Amino acid sequence: MILYKKDVIDKLSEKTGLYKKDIKAMLIALNELVYEEMDNDNAIILNNLLKIEQVTIPPRNRYDIVRDKVYQHEAYQVVKITPSNNLRDRYRKQNTENEDE
């Protein structure tokens, strides 16, 4: 099952009792915050959920078989999203319980 933005807004509204328009505004602000912080090379940590950080991939040498030539990729940046330890452990715990049955 996939939860789209509308589904997330509906569920958060039910859980919190807040208006859907307020939750939608909060999600838009969170989206803008993530982009701004990634532009400033800052990481975002949401405890018990995830960590969003920008990682630089170093340059590497590659070998082209067709041209029989070694060339070097340039360094580039990617966004890395890592689940928190609590979330990862909970998922692993559920998987081990299912295997025991």
pLDDT greater than 70 at residue 100: no
CA dist 43 and 51 (Å) reads 7
Q: What is the pLDDT of residues 2-60, one digit of tens each?
A: 999 999 999 999 999 999 999 999 999 999 999 999 999 999 999 989 999 999 999 98
Annotated domain spans of the chain: 1-40, 43-93
CA dist 23 and 9 (Å) reads 6
Class of domain 43-93: few secondary structures
CA dist 9 and 61 (Å) reads 46
Q: What is the pLDDT of residues 57-75, one digit of tens each?
A: 999 888 888 888 888 889 9
